[in-house]
Structure 1
């Protein structure tokens, strides 16, 4: 059998990315194109005494209410099993008051699966199911062999255990954000959101016994019996760090200098309509946190807006 030839699509657009995400999931109606399965929550944010060293953004330097959403899966399948070991966990949150709001989107892996929009579209198109309801594995293998960086995220997820719950998972925003402090000093940071108390993973036997909705059951139990706390961390750049390639991590990223910007405390469940009626818009960043320069981030606002229109 000959190996299929993989060709990049010409000039991928946010609309074509949304269509491809939906096609991979079987085009389910009225759901997000990505991270379709989710639960809306509310809470508070309190800054640390070091936040202003990094950014003048009032989203991060002032206390505020928080609207957030925990989610599962990187695609548009609203029925994804939470026991799927390769499914991402997502945590999107909105900080700040009117006029100074920031929406930050994080996930349970520190890199994205594509460097450019064309590569992202080709990755997805290789995985669109055929008439039998399954993707062409030869096409997937050929694409992966030609684009090995698109496997970095999957390899990272596969190397880590199934999380015990949303509350015991570390999340990353995969982009490099320019942050400007009150002295006018700008440097790149990456956001890392770490559960207070550290990551929690079940044993193999416990993982095998989990239900398909265990993340949501655990979330409801945790909120009913207390609160859930996360530290919002800024990982600080070094000379030579790449800011355009979201498929790779910065060198020694887990061991480099970091500053805790503040603490998010999740205090209650919120009606899903509070999160579903609009979008967590990655382009919505209060002054002091700039837009990352990479190509994937540049397409997010339009893609999320298109996805919202389609699910309405």
Structure 2
């Protein structure tokens, strides 16, 4: 079992490790490699300005977004078997834009960059193309927090339809409103009118992407952009744990995203969806994974080019 390195992880080493674990080619995305680029609109709610002064979240705008799935299998021919889903979206334009990354689990699989690198090293495939399961088990036992994401997904498998999935932001963002009041928020993006989970046999007959395209064509893909509001003592530095009573606490609807069509993949590749791009009124989360992620996205994009 690899020891937890001290300060060994860099954004570049994380990108390399993500690709190596999944067996991805050099120009592939390091994570969430399977995806569809889409466009849409965003309409803010009357409550948005109470939470943030960010024009990206308080003004109507066009949306560029990407639905994705993280298989971790380079030669996969489909994505029906993937558990973790992603939804990244850009609101606003110019220097008044925010790029938000969300996923189908409310926690990340590592607390620090070093722990993330060690996790990936423990799961690295051997000569037979498979990881050493004894090594994985030993690492998991020594680092139980790295199992929380997998445990959540096992207990809460996402609907097979990307349009029916709830997406979470694992980071705590400092949000400042026009009165200068700042508090931490977490994003939660919920499907509108899609409470019924699609039948599994229907999913298997169409696949994730065909299902999504059919729903977009039917103007049937809408999401409420919600935020969870912090309470005193909520952890904001550890992305492997949830806030207490997170499912039952107060949530505010910032606005609604309506997906209206598809875009070529190149449109989203050019956008990157770098989480560092946040309009004034939404600050950078203080946790270590966010800092590593914003640098890794730039490296991954440069290598793809």
TM-score over 0.5 for the pair: yes
Q: Is the 8 A contact 1:162 1:201 kept in 2?
A: no
The TM-score, its normalising length taken from structure 1, stands at 0.93
Alignment of 1:89 with 2:76, yes or no, is no
Instruction: Choose 25-34 or 264-273, whichever is displaced more.
Output: 25-34
Alignment of 1:268 with 2:264, yes or no, is no
Q: 5 Å matches for 1:17-96? A: 17-73=14-70, 75=72, 77=74, 79=76, 81-84=78-81, 87-96=83-92
Q: 5 Å matches for 1:1-312? A: 5-11=1-7, 12-73=9-70, 75=72, 77=74, 79=76, 81-84=78-81, 87-203=83-199, 206=201, 210-211=204-205, 214-312=207-305
User: What number of residue pairs does the alignment pair up?
Assistant: 304
Q: Hey, which bits of structure 1, 4+ residues long, moved more than 4 A?
A: none
Q: Deviations over 1:220-274 (max 9, x none)?
A: 1011122411000010000110000000110110111111000000000111110
Q: CA deviation at 1:78?
A: 7.0
Secondary structure at 1:282 match in 2: coil
Shift in CA distance, 78/36, structure 1 to aligned 2, threshold 3 Å: farther
Structure 1 stretches lacking a partner, 5+ long: none
Secondary structure at 1:65 match in 2: strand
Question: What is the rounded CA distance, in whole Å, between the counterparts of 2:147 and 2:195 in structure 1?
Answer: 23
Shift in CA distance, 296/53, structure 1 to aligned 2, threshold 3 Å: same
Secondary structure at 1:39 match in 2: strand
Q: CA deviation at 1:25?
A: 1.0
Q: Is the 8 A contact 2:223 2:257 kept in 1?
A: yes
Secondary structure at 2:241 match in 1: coil
Question: What is the rounded CA distance, in whole Å, between the counterparts of 1:93 and 1:78 in structure 2?
Answer: 27
Structure 2 stretches lacking a partner, 5+ long: none
The TM-score, its normalising length taken from structure 2, stands at 0.95
Q: Is the 8 A contact 2:80 2:160 kept in 1?
A: no
Q: Is the 8 A contact 1:37 1:78 kept in 2?
A: no
Question: What is the rounded CA distance, in whole Å, between the counterparts of 1:76 and 1:94 in structure 2?
Answer: 27
Secondary structure at 2:188 match in 1: strand
